[in-house]
Amino acid sequence: MSFARPNCLGGTLTPFLYPAFFELPLAAVTRRCPLRTRFPHQFRCNSTAAEQSDAHLDTHASRLDPAADDYALTPFADRCILTVEAGGGGHGCVSFLKEKYIEEGPANGGDGGSGGNVYIQAVRGETSLHKLARRRLIKAGRGRNGQGKVKGGERGTDILITVPIGTIVRELQRHDPIAFMEEEHWKMEQEEEEEEVAEGQRSYRKDRWLVYPGTIASELTRMKFPKLPPPRRSHLAALEPPAPMWLDLDKHMETPLLIAAGAMGGLGNPHFMTPFNSRPKMATRGDEGLKISLQLELKILADLGLVGLPNAGKSTLLRALSNSRARVGNWAFTTLQPNVGTVVLDNHKGRPLVTSRRRNGELRENFTIADVPGLIEDAHLDKGLGLGFLRHIERAAVLAFVIDLSAGDAVQALKLLWREVSEYETLRGKELNAETERRMVTYRPAGTTFPPGDKSDLLDSPHLNPSPEPLPFLSSTPISSKPWFVVAAKADKPDTQANYVALQQYLDQVSKGTLPHPSNRKHAWKRDVQAVPISAIQGEGTQAIPQLMMDLLDE
């Protein structure tokens, strides 16, 4: 019995197309691969359990302490301006019945199809708005035109926009063609009532009418156009949020929300038949779709936000807790944009890491972590990476202050971080007050008075179609009122035990009220603040963070 085929086939596709051609009998396998030297690429011996465990440890260590170029840069955007446009309606059809014994049949043109709708839905799994920021314009499908034999046009394709949970949708401006048509139609009716316009005196409008192909200009002047039908809105328009739109999508949505209903299609020529004209040569065009410019902004960036000085070990901690491939290195500002990772609590393959339920009773399967770029002193004055990243901190439900135990006094580092966060919170409060005063300014010309309670003098931010109701602000919980804890990183380095003990004593005194909160704010959160010593690069001590995180989320 032969054990293998000649080696001359090794350079062909035979091993891939016919793998059984190179198989060995069971006796050859029991002799621990004796032909391995002759055919090294065809046989593989099983490694021992010790070798597998060593390989696993090597892989784990290399992932936490990778090379400088071993990282994946995830696109990220937490705000964007997006223009959505509902689908326009299809045109009506000008058609006539044509049969063998009917030379000039009546009109049988179909109506145009309605345009597609635009929906929005907040779903789990989305962590960024970068996909929408790249598109800028999202347009639903246009309805198909009507056809002969009274065949109506097909509806346009609907569009679904998926956003992360915690997205704020605010309307910037709106272009509603139907509103202009309704106003124009009302004015025309007023004029016709005053002037009593006859049936044949209405002129041809290119933007509203379609005529039979081949109709010349001289014939258009002799045609009698009927009265334009009133503008129509889709019955789904009643489901749209009131303008100006302001949505707080802070929960997972099982069904999408309609934000722009498609326009109605045009009418076919049978709608304009009269006892004196059974063959009208005109149909109406489809309406244009609603166009809205929206500002999307993430109010809740992640469940846990990592705050710390540069090179404190935040990205390494993110790698240790999740499968993120954030850039790490032994230099400052390795992170230039927030990285969002997901910590899986229950992958439905065994016992979950931590058992926790949401407020609605649903079992929590994961939570998200945001690695915010490092803060430096006077970051609230837009130094370093500045205010753009302090803004991300206020969008996390729980804060984790990552302190490097080997980089000096841990208590002073914690106070420095809280000082920057507190100063930024003060700046945000001043901006909010200034914006409120600007919105509530009233303008009253000299010699004029307004009745009390009249909202016509309330100035709002500039919109194409301003609403008497001012837009609500993007409000969130103050940063000092959020639950927080301290991650004492790099605890495996020598001479860090005393620094950790001093940090723990300081946090105990803050929790008991003996010492003030690091932010020096009156209503700051200081209920049983804890410090977790870890070595992220070794993967040690990080197992306690998910349970602590779930306890704080429940509070």
Q: Are residues 315 and 231 in the same domain?
A: no
Task: Examine the domain organization and report whether 519 and 404 are in the same domain.
Answer: yes
Same domain, 239 and 91: yes
- Most distant CA pair in the chain, distance: 114
Residues contacting residue 112 through CB under 8 Å, at least 6 positions apart: 89, 90, 91, 92, 93, 143, 144, 145, 146, 152, 153, 265, 266, 267, 268, 286
Q: What's the CATH number where 548 sits?
A: 3.40.50.300
Contacts of residue 24, Cβ cutoff 8 Å, sequence gap at least 6: 3, 4, 35, 43
Identify the residue whose tokens are 């901690």: 317
Q: How many domains does the chain have?
A: 2
Does residue 462 fall inside a structural domain? Answer: no
Q: What is the pTM of this model?
A: 0.71
pLDDT at residue 74 in the model? 67
Q: Is residue 448 part of a domain?
A: no
Please check whether residue 421 lies inside any domain of the structure: yes
| Residue 210 neighbours by CB distance under 10 Å | 24
Phi, psi of 460 (to 5 degrees): -120, 170
The verdict on 121 and 150 lying in the same domain is yes
Q: Which domain holds residue 368?
A: 302-434+475-552
| Cβ-contact 22, 15 below 8 angstroms | yes
Residue 165: which of 325, 397, 484 has the closest Cα? 397
Distance CA 437, CA 433 (A): 6
Residue 352 lies in a domain: yes
Joined together, the tokens standing for residue 125 give 């799994």
* pLDDT the model gives residue 54: 47
Residue 453 inside a domain? The answer is: no
Instruction: Look at residue 197 in the predicted model and tell me its pLDDT.
Output: 54
Question: 298, 317, 345 — which closes off a domain?
Answer: 298
- Asked whether the CA dihedral 210, 213, 219, 224 is positive or negative, the reply is negative
Q: Which of 249, 278, 298 is the last residue of a domain?
A: 298
* 167 and 215 belong to one structural domain: yes
Q: How far apart are CA 379 and CA 382, in angstroms?
A: 5
- Residue 481 is given by DSSP the state G
Question: Do 311 and 264 share a structural domain?
Answer: no
- Give 468's DSSP letter: S
Q: Supply the pLDDT for residue 235.
A: 92
Which residue pairs from 462-471 have beta carbons closer than 8 angstroms and sit at least 24 positions apart in sequence? 463/171, 463/172, 463/173, 463/174, 463/244, 464/173, 464/174, 464/175, 465/173, 465/174, 465/176, 465/179, 465/243, 465/244, 466/244, 467/243, 467/244, 469/244, 470/439, 471/170, 471/171, 471/244, 471/246
Same-domain check for residues 250 and 265: yes
For residues 374 and 268, membership in a common domain is answered with no
Q: Do residues 526 and 505 lie in contact, with contact meaning Cβ atoms separated by under 8 Å?
A: no
Pair (268, 396) in one structural domain: no
Residue 463 located in a structural domain: no
Residue 171 pLDDT: 92
pLDDT mean for each 10 residues of the chain (555 residues):
46 48 45 41 41 47 64 73 95 91 88 96 87 91 93 94 91 92 86 62 79 84 85 92 88 92 94 88 93 88 82 79 67 63 78 73 79 60 53 80 87 87 74 55 47 39 41 64 90 88 92 87 85 85 87 81
* 281 shares its domain with 409: no
Residue 258 lies in a domain: yes
Q: Any idea what DSSP says for residue 20?
A: G
Asked if residue 387 and residue 523 are part of one domain, the reply reads yes
Q: What is the pLDDT of residue 69?
A: 62
**Surface-to-core class of residue 442, CB atoms within 10 Å of its CB (0-12 exposed, 13-18 middle, 19+ buried):** exposed
Is there a domain that residue 413 lies in? yes
Residue (of 55, 86, 67) closest to 330 by Cα position: 67
Q: What is the structure's pLDDT at 67?
A: 65
- Closest C-alpha to 111, from 136, 94, 88: 94
CATH number at residue 166: 2.70.210.12
Q: Which residue among 277, 298, 319 closes a domain?
A: 298
Looking at the structure, tell me whether residues 274 and 341 fall in a common domain.
no
